[in-house]
């Protein structure tokens, strides 16, 4: 039950925060940088698969070890590192292979992914701890 709570809380936090971010930043950052490469509407099937899988990886790689250590700090730092690495993989690959991908976009997106993943990990950790009590 604790791990299910961690997964659900991490997933909800990640999706909700990312929705707010994308709602505010697509037209400000992504569309100006990417132009026609950006789809008019997101492909929701791919988005759902990403969010479900990312939250599972976050719980397995970050939240579960933090729960074993009883450390919110471990959850936050682990989330920060995982998010930075995951988003860097995406952004730096795109910057290496696409003509229109900018360094500014890479840096902003990696920072967002790191912060978002850290917060989602800490929320998942906190909810799992509450459920366990």
Report pLDDT digits (tens) over 78-117: 999 999 999 999 999 999 999 889 999 999 999 999 999 9
What are residue 20's phi and psi, to 5 degrees? -60, -50
The residue segments making up the domain with residue 32 are 2-132
Can you tell me which residue has the tokens 């039950």? Answer: 1
Report pLDDT digits (tens) over 65-77: 999 999 999 999 9
Q: Specify the number of domains making up the chain.
A: 1
Give the CA radius of gyration of the chain: 16
Report pLDDT digits (tens) over 23-67: 999 999 999 999 888 898 999 999 999 999 999 999 999 999 999
Whether 98 and 39 have beta carbons less than 8 Å apart is answered as no
Question: What whole-number distance in Å separates Cα of residue 76 and Cα of residue 121?
Answer: 6
What six digits make up the tokens of 76?
Answer: 């936050």
- For the entire predicted model, the pTM comes to 0.95
**Closest to 108 (Cα-Cα) out of 1, 29, 45:** 29
């Amino acid at each position: 039950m604790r791990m299910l709570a961690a997964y659900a809380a991490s997933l909800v936090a990640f999706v909700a925060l990312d929705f707010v971010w994308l709602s505010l930043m697509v037209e400000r950052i992504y569309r100006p940088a990417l132009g026609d490469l950006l789809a008019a509407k997101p492909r929701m099937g791919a988005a759902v698969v990403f969010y479900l899988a990312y939250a599972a990886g976050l719980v397995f790689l970050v939240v579960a070890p933090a729960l074993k250590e009883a450390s919110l700090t471990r959850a936050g730092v682990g989330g920060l590192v995982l998010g930075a690495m995951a988003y860097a993989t995406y952004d730096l690959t795109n910057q290496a292979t696409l003509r229109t991908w900018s360094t500014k976009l890479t840096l902003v997106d990696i920072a967002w992914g790191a912060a978002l993943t850290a917060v989602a990990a800490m929320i998942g950790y906190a909810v799992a701890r509450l459920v366990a009590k």
